[in-house]
Structure 1
Amino acid sequence: MPINIPKQLPAREILEQEKIFVMDVERAKTQDIRPLNILILNLMPEKEKTEVQLLRLLGNTPLQVNISFLRTATHKSKNVSKSHLTQFYTTFKEVKHRRFDGMIMTGAPVEKMPFEQVNYWEELKEIMEWTKDHVTSVLHICWGAQAALYYHYGIDKFDLTRKCSGVFKHQVTDATVKLVRGFDDYFLAPHSRYTSVEMEEIVANDALLLLSSSEEAGPFLIISKDEKHVMITGHLEYDAMTLAEEYERDLQKGLDIHIPENYFPNDDPTQQPLNKWRSHTHLLFSNWLNYYVYQETPYEWE
């Protein structure tokens, strides 16, 4: 089934070229079904790339999904045009009266800062508090996962000695949980971050369940036992070339950065990297939409 997105959204052309089923509002109104309403809080700097990555995954399930994009009102984005934000994004003030079946909160390039020093942290706290009563399930990615662990469960992040960048092997620790249904015992996933969270704190927290981890990259998939929050510490949504683009960007900035691990063939940045995590990415998003959003959300919100 399709995702319902604005007709003029630039991501639409890319998705249609990839044969992702998309539709506009006019066609969606002719279908007598109850679509899922998903809110995406996009905190990534290159918003249009993130839009494509997430919409590609949300459009690959049997469910019709209505998408709304949310931006922070207390932070001005530098890497996307004001017209794009005005046309396709809304602010929390404009949607806080609504209820959503699911929400995705992306990562953000602010992980080296204490949470309280992020200029939109107070706004983000208000949004995370609002999700408790207005969203059925929330999927948090990378820094978004760390922010959720900190705000909801009191688990703080810590600085790594060097950036965790690369594609790492992860082990499923509890295959009975619906979120990882169909997963291999081991799977690959990309990471790109300067901070992490202590695995011991997650395991010791009675409200959380650790679903997968990596010897090199640490805890990866975490879910709250009430199934309200899903935290992904890496970037399953990344394209094959995303880590390469970030590596080149960091080199141009003159940063002391290492080659992403287990990523380029023969650790040679001149060779084309392969996407070795695509199938599990689609499976995870499909499981989340089905088991934690569609199966749990009320047909009519009271």
Structure 2
Amino acid sequence: MPVTLPDNLPAIEILKKENIFVMSQLRAKEQDIRPLKVLILNLMPIKIAAETDLVRLLSNSPLQIEVDFLKLSGHQSKNTPIEHMDAFYKEFHEVKDQNYDGLIVTGAPVEMMEYEEVSYWDEVASVFDWAKVHVTSTFYICWAAQAALYRFYGVKKHLLPEKTFGVFKHTINDRSFPLFRGFDDEFYAPHSRHTEVRKEDIEKHKDLKILSESDEAGVYIVVGRGGREFYVTGHSEYSLYTLHNEYQRDKEKGAEIDIPKHYYRHDNPAEKPISRWTGHGNLLFNNWMNYYLYQETPYDLSQIEMLGNIQLPAEKE
């Protein structure tokens, strides 16, 4: 089944060339089913690339999904045309009275700043608070994961001695958790960050559970409220060349940046990157949509506000 997108969104033509089924809003209105409604707060600097990466994963599902894109009114994107933002993105005041099955909040290039120093912190914190009531399950990525853990639990981030940059091996702490259905015992995921959240800080909170970790990259996936929130410190949504583009961008800026680890064939930037994470990235998003949106959300979206915590698998009869 397709993802329903705003008419003329650039990602539509890109994904059609990859034989990925996407549907315009006009055609979707002719179908008599309720799609899952997913809101994406895109804080990435190159917004069109982030849109395409996420839609590619959302579309690899038998579920029909209707996507809205959200922007912050207090922040003007420097790398995306204003015409694109005006055409395809809504502001928070336009959606705050609505409910959504899912929310995805991307990373942002502000991790070296204290949260309160970020110009749009107050607005993004308001979105986080709103999602606890108006969204069945929220998927926080990278900086957003750290920021939401700080907002809800006071978990602090810590500066790393060097950037965690590359594709790293991970393990699963609870194989019974539905998010990992179909996963191998070990799997890979990209990371690109200068800061971390620490295991000992998270374990102080009984409402949080660490689901996946990496010997090299640390805490990877944390769940809150049984699945109402997922905090994912890496980037399973990245396409094959996203890390390469980040590496080249930083080199061109003259920044001190190491070659992404476990990424290029023979660790040589002149050679093609190795795809190690695509299968598990698709599984991660498919399982989230199936088990924590489709199987948990009420048909009447107005009932989301009455939902409590999603029961953990061990608690289900």
TM-score category by the smaller chain?
over 0.9
Query: Distance in 1 between the 2:80 and 2:88 partners?
Result: 12
Write out aligned runs for 1:201-240 (5 A). Answer: 201-240=201-240
- Name the residue aligned to 1:31: 31
Q: Match of 1:156? A: 156
Amino acid at match of 1:270: A
Identify the residue that residue 173 of structure 1 maps to in structure 2: 173
Equivalent position of 2:182 in the other structure: 182
Letter in 1 for 2:64: Q
Q: Secondary structure at the match of 2:226?
A: coil
The corresponding residue for 1:279 is 279
Shift of residue 203, structure 1, vs aligned partner: 2.5
| Between 80-89 and 255-264, the greater mean CA deviation after superposition | 255-264
CA distance in 2: counterparts of 1:28 and 1:225, whole angstroms: 33
Gaps of 5+ in 1: none
AA aligned to 1:2 is P
- Distance across 1 between alignment mates of 2:177 and 2:226: 12
Counterpart CA distance in 2 for 1:238 and 1:95 is 27
2:42 equivalent in structure 1: 42
Matched AA of 1:211: L
Q: CA deviation at 1:24?
A: 1.1
Instruction: Report SS of the residue matched to 1:245.
Output: helix
Gaps of 5+ in 2: 303-317
Cα drift, residue 181 of structure 1: 1.3
Q: Give the deviation of 1:193 after TM superposition.
A: 0.4
| Cα displacement (A) at 1:126 | 0.8
Could you tell me how far apart the structure 2 residues matched to 1:38 and 1:72 are? 17
User: How far 1:161 moved relative to its partner?
Assistant: 0.7
CA distance in 2, matches of 1:109, 1:263: 21
Matched, 1:134 2:164: no
The one-letter code of the counterpart of 1:121 is W
Q: CA deviation at 1:251?
A: 1.0
Contact 1:209-1:225 at 8 Å conserved across structures: no
Q: How far 1:214 sits from its partner (Å)?
A: 0.5
- Within 5 Å, which residues of 2 pair with 1:29-108? 29-108=29-108
Give 1:99-118 correspondences, 5 Å limit.
Answer: 99-118=99-118
RMSD: 0.8
Deviations 1:98-148 (A, max 9, x none): 111100000000000000000000001111111111111000100011111
Structure 2 contact 101–301 (Cα < 8 Å) conserved? no
Cα deviation per residue 1:203-262 (whole Å; 9 max; x = unaligned)? 232011111100110000111143110111001111111111111111111111111111
CA–CA separation in structure 2 for the residues paired with 1:162 and 1:249 = 18
* Code of the aligned partner of 1:104: I
Q: What is the rounded CA distance, in whole Å, between the counterparts of 1:221 and 1:49 in structure 2?
A: 23
Instruction: Give the superposition deviation at 1:171.
Output: 0.6
| Higher mean displacement: 249-258 or 80-89 | 249-258
The CA deviation at 1:152 is: 1.2
In structure 1, distance between residues paired with 2:290 and 2:257: 39
Residue 109 of structure 2 aligns to which amino acid in structure 1? P
Q: TM-score, normalised by structure 2?
A: 0.94
Indicate the percent of aligned positions where both proteins have the same amino acid. 51
CA distance in 1: counterparts of 2:36 and 2:301, whole angstroms: 12
